[in-house]
Every structure is written in C-alpha cells, then in structure tokens.
Chains A and B, each alone.
Chain A
Amino acid sequence: MVKSILLVGVGGQGTILASKLLTTGLMEAGYDVKMSEIHGMSQRGGSVSSHVRYGDKVESPVIELGGADMLISFEKMEALRWLNYLKPNGKIVVNNIEMGSMPILSGKADYPKNAVEILKKYADTTVIDASSEAEKLGNLKVMNVILLGTIIKLMGLEEINWDKILKDNIKEKLVDINLKALKTGIDLV
C-alpha cells in the first residue's frame, strides 16, 4: 500500500524542509520512500510542490493526478491550484494565509474569494492558522514544521521518533522552537 502526500505553496515558504523532514522520518521508520520536486526558474516566487510517497515499494516519485491521499497547502490559492491531485476521499489541510501573485498585486486580477468554501465543497478540509501559531512561538519560519505536525497526526505517523529526526536535521539553536512547533501542529488537528 502506497500513500501519497502533496505539499504545495509559494517559493520560500519552507515546503522543501518540511518534506525533507517528513521523508527522512518515513525512511527511518522502514518505509520505501520517494519524493519529487522541481527546482529552477519556477522557484522565483512561483508555485512550488513536493510530492512525497511511501509504502512497501514505491514506483513513481510523482503523485498522479487524482492520486494524493493528502494535500497540504501552505497558502490558500495554491490548495485550489492543486486540488485535482487529491483522491475523491482525500484530506486537505490548508494554511489560512493569502499571498497574492503578480497579477493580483498589480491589481489586474482578484484573489479567489471563496477558496476555502470551494475546497470544503469537495473534500474534508481543515484550515490551520499556522502562521499566527508560528508568530506566537516567536518565529514565523516554523510555520512549515507546524504544518508537518498536522500531516503526522492526520496520516497516523505519530509513532515515528520525530524528535530525533528534528534534532538530526535542524541547527541546534533552532531545535527547541521546532520541537514546540511540531507539537503545536499535532495538537491543532
């Protein structure tokens, strides 16, 4: 049985670190793991995605259209952009922030008004205030680890030793705040 988690967001939001921690934990738990990202030009403020797949034996590192068990979006409009990668009974976690793209910033287009309502119409959607929770912890950047916490809870991966994964992969002075962020994320859902 292979599970697929699609992490999406905007370049610079920390999706890459979140998926790195996630895949490392899954590997240490004994799963076969594959992950796919696209680097390069699209990074420059563009839409980014990390495909994470794990199970007994994973073939494709890329999640098929309509194949994700979970869509975790670091930004609301990005959840809408990637919605069709979700399975009909898949789960969505969406971070409750709006980041305008250039057509929106320049006043040529409008940010989608009912992004969350549209998502809820199609799938089991949980809205998380990861950014404000991160601010409460004192560092906006740990938003990604809060969201990682929600993945861990919703995918039933709490048994993996995440504290160790974080300690092994994060700079020492940032370990404590990230451990708190992880717990915050797990408790939020």
Chain B
Amino acid sequence: MKKLMTGNEAIARGAYEAGVRFAAAYPGTPSTEILENAALYKKDIIAEWAPNEKVALESTIGASLAGARALAAMKHVGLNVAADPLFTVSYTGIYGGLVIVVADEPGQHSSQNEQDNRNYAKAAKVPMLEPSDSNEAKDFTKVALDLSEKYDVPVLLRMTTRVCHSKGIVECQDREERDIIPYKKNVNKYVTVPAIAKKLRVNVEERQKKLLDFSNTTDLNFIEWNDTKLGVIASGMCYNYSKEVFGDKVSYLKIGFSHPLPTEKIKEFCSKVDKVYVIEENDSYIEDQVKMLGFNCLGKDVFPPYGEMLPEIIRKSVYGKTMPTFNYDEREVVARPPLLCAGCPHRGLFSQLGKRKNVMVSGDIGCYTLASSEPYNSMDTTICMGASISLGHGAQKIFDSQKDNKMRVVSVLGDSTFFHTGINSLIDVAYNKSNTINIILDNRITGMTGHQENPGSGYTLQGEKTNELSIKTIAEALGFKNIAVINPNDLNAVNNALDWALSLDEPSVIITRWPCALKKFSPEDKEEFSGAYTDKYAVDHDKCIGCKSCIRTGCPAISFNKETKKSTIDYNTCKGCSVCSQVCPVKAIGKVGE
C-alpha cells in the first residue's frame, strides 16, 4: 500500500514492519513525530517518552539486552545527552537489534546549534545510515536493525530536518513479527569493567574493518554514471538537492551508508571523473575522507559550511547566481517573528520579571526563550536543556563573592525541561547552597514541540494514566524551605512572589502552575483550572489613553491604531488571561459582558 508520509512517520512505520517492540525518546524538533507515530502501533510497540535522551537510550539498550528489537530517537543535541551510553554500548554491542535515530538541524530552524552528528558515528565507532527521503527512511530503519544484529552493534540513523519533515510516497508492507530472544546473562559482554572493556575495545576495531567491507560492497552506496566531466558525492537530502540542480548531466556517488565511508567506491568514482564536488551540509565529513584518500575535490571552499544546502545555494555556489528573481523592494515586508501565543501563561511572569533591576535571568530551552526579545527583554542566557538553574548557580556564586555586588540570579525553565535535566541542577543549588530564585514554568505539558506528555502531566505517551510527579514535593525533598506555587496570570501574585524571593538569604523555588493556552485539557485539568480560557476582554476606547501598556505585554490579540491612538483586542484571538487588563493604568480593559 502506498502512503504519503513524512520521514518521521516512515521511520515509525519501518520500526513497526521490522518487528520493533520498544521505542523511547525525548521530544525535540525535528524528531518528535517519530515516537508520536510509533505510539500509534499500540498493540505491537511499547512507546515511551523518557525524561531525557540519555534515559531514552539506556532504556532501549535494556530492551535490546532483554532480547527485543528497539529504537531510540532524539534531536541532534539530544545525542550529546545520550553520548555517555552510546560510547560504551558501542563496545558491548547489542542483543536484539538497536537503532538510534538522530535528527540534525542544518539551518537551525528550531535549535540552539547546528552540530553535525555524523562525527558521533566516527567517534563512537558505530555504523551510520543516511536516508534521503521518506521511503528510504522506512527501508533504512529496517536495514539498520538487520545490520545491528549482524554486526552486533547499535546503528545510528542520521536524519536532517528536511528528511524528517518532508513528505514522500512510501510503499508500506506488513509487520514481520520477531520473537523475543530468551535472556542470557553474559558478564563478559555487558559488564564493562576495565578488564572486560579492554577486550571489547579490540573487537570494536575488528568490527570496523568488517563494516568497511560492507560499506564498499553494499548497494546503499552506489554510483550513477552519466557524463564523467563532473562527479558529485552526496548523502541524505543533499543528494536530492544536487539532482535537482545538475539532473542527469553529471555522475553521482550517493552515500546511504556513511560510516565507515566506502573508501574503495570513493577511489573508483574519483579516479574516473575529471572534477569532484562533495556536497554536504555542515562539516566536511565526506570531503575530509576524499582528500585523505589522495583525491582533489571541491567542498567547503565552494559550498557554505553552515545552513541548509538548498538548491539555490548549490546553484549560486557553482554558477555564481540563482535562477532569476524579481527586483522588488523587500524592505516593504515586515518581519513576522514567532510570539508567545495569546493567553500564554508565560506572559504574566515575563511582563513583570523584565522590569526588575539588578537581576540576571538565566534562561532555558522552550517557548519561553521568546522572553529574551521584545517586549519582555527578560532573559539573559540560553545554553542547553536544564542549564538555567546550574548556570544561574555558578553566576550567583561569583556575584556573591564580590563585596558590593548585589546582583541576584533568577533561573527560569519549563516543567518538561526541569524533568529533563533541570532536576540535577536544582540538586546542585540545594547541595552547594547558592541564593538563586528558581522559577519552574509548569504549564502542564511539553509546549514548544507540540504538546507531549511528561512525568508531571499524569499521562504517558500511549495515553495511560500514570504517577504525576509533584515539582513542589521534589523541591521539598531536596531540602528547599522556600517554595511558592502561583498562578502566573495573577500579576500581584507574581510580583509578591518575586519580592519575597528576592528578600530571602536562601534559595527559593517558585512554581507557576497554569496550563498552556493550546493544551487539550485532561479531566484533571478541567477540574483544577475550570473556567480557564473562557473569558474575553475588550478595550473601552473612551477610557483608553493610548499609553501602550497593554501592547507591551506582547499579546498577538492586541493591536494599536496609530491614527486614533487606541488599543483594540481581537475578540477571536483573545483567550481571556486578563494580563492586559491588569497592566492598564486607567482600567480601560474589562471582561466582555461585565
């Protein structure tokens, strides 16, 4: 059966068809939909959101060692978190087939960096596959599981945003059921004490040699001979982009199995074409290998080392210009930056936090990172998941070490980010005793990636009711004495909590508990937050003095008319959070119907 699928849907389908029984991930753009789709095969696959990528990979290793085929998925930076188990499971090998999907983000559409995870395959000495489209994503997932079992190794399946989120036609097959292999204790394989790990280390090199042979003989790496004046070596989406630009006019070496690289095929290709372009996104991963083999090629000296290698980029790099475009005044077009949604519970907090003086706001990864820009300007740093609290701790220690430095640190992160790695950072604050204010924005869901359940939401990925971790109880257990839980839409409560926390000589935890404006309410939400998002607010133009206080809350429901100098709230967009009415100095904004 043919279906149009994204690359992410296709991976889930491939896992299903290949008899995978366990899959785990932490949500992250562009990889999130892999597990969301795997979860739909409820009868056959146990699919879970793990608190973070390290835990996701470790639990899939467990499933593999218990004899089942397993899959872990994560975005590129997630593999940094999961790198610890990766490097050692490379030594131990697997039992049931194990594939690790990692989704890189050339172009950084929704990420804090653009790291090239092909380097991980090389560093951890594990094989890597790179699909170019949805059909390959499905097929390669199955191949990866076969290879994993054949060579006793976890296999990396490297995706990029465009492969993850583009749709193509996929030929679906039935599931091939696989029995769970009976568990066998094998200390000499799975306990990596030095004496054993040293032996496993030697095996890794032997395996690399076998994988190199495979790379040189597999059809996953193939040559398309056309005119030999120009040859293009490419993998993943860059192969499609290259074909778009050059068509059948040039020869191609298409690399689907990219670690170890097919040295013999590269030699064959490069010795038969007059000129070689290596077209790859981000690092010079293939180019370096080609040059090490003694061939001249054009790579990063022609094509950019960052961003997506879109067809127009290839065309411009090679021919000096893009296809014809119109010469119009693009300055007419006003930017449309992403915004906190109307009704977003983060708005109340950041509209007030940004006004505080002598405060460093240590931020984190989530929708709330938007608070770093206009009109809030209330975030100073963002590094990685969970870093807000620990980075803030270090900064506070230095501020406090200076005699007259009155700077206070407010660390801010979301509920899911807290469970991801922020929880470790909060332990650091408790243990090493810094005087930071730690705000956890508990919007009852993982927001930015599109509403995934998390350990605090009370539900699992496959919709089962489960334990609901209480952030307040966790903070109490860590020894925090100063904990407040507030509604962030109540600006008095926000300011009172900030005043209180800033007055303390001890660290504090403030939990802002209010559901995301886009969340589909659970029965528990309906009970706890009854009446949320049902009101509408409007501006009384007779009272409005045009001071723009409401505009400075950055709500997309409010607009300002420069001629009449009045604000207006769009009825359909308003979610009734009331933040604008609280900041209005002349009480011109009121609830509709009152």
Contacts and interface: CB of A to CB of B under 8 A. Distances in A.
Interface in B319-368: 322-326, 328-330, 332-341, 367
Contacts of A64: 244-245, 310-312, 315, 322-323
B326 A86 contact: yes
Contacts of B374: 102
Contact of B30 (A40, A60, A66, A88): A40
A33 B335 contact: no
Contact of A35 (B4, B335, B558): B4
B556 A45 contact: yes
A88 B324 contact: yes
A39 B326 CA distance: 28
A33 B167 contact: yes
A101 B335 contact: yes
Contact of B325 (A77, A84, A106, A118): A84
Given A47-B336, A106-B375, A118-B328, 9 more contacts: A34-B167, A46-B336, A46-B337, A80-B333, A84-B330, A105-B551, A106-B552, A107-B562, A118-B332
B323 A67 contact: yes
Interface of A: 10, 23-24, 27, 32-47, 58-62, 64-67, 77-78, 80-81, 83-84, 86-88, 100-107, 109-112, 115, 118, 121-123
A94 to B, nearest CB: 14
A123 B326 CA distance: 10
Given A33-B4, A39-B29, A83-B328, A44 B168 contact: no
Contacts of A23: 4, 167
A101 B551 contact: no
A1 to B, nearest CB: 13
B99 to A, nearest CB: 23
A97 to B, nearest CB: 13
A121 B328 CA distance: 10
Contact of B333 (A38, A45, A81): A81
B554 interface: yes
B322 A45 contact: no
B377 interface: no
Interface string B444-476: 000011100000000000000000000000000
B110 interface: yes
B240 interface: yes
Nearest to B75: A40
Given A61-B166, A102-B556, A42 B338 contact: yes
A106 B548 contact: yes
B162 interface: yes
Contact of B334 (A38, A39, A59, A109): A109
A101 to B, nearest CB: 4
Contact of B558 (A36, A47, A60, A105): A105
B115 interface: no
Contacts of A34: 133, 166-168
Nearest to A42: B338
Interface string B239-259: 011011100000000000000
B167 A101 contact: no
A159 to B, nearest CB: 19
Contacts of A47: 336
B286 interface: no
A38 B161 contact: yes
A39 B315 CA distance: 26
A75 B88 CA distance: 52
A66 B312 contact: yes
B169 A59 contact: no
Contacts of A84: 325-326, 330
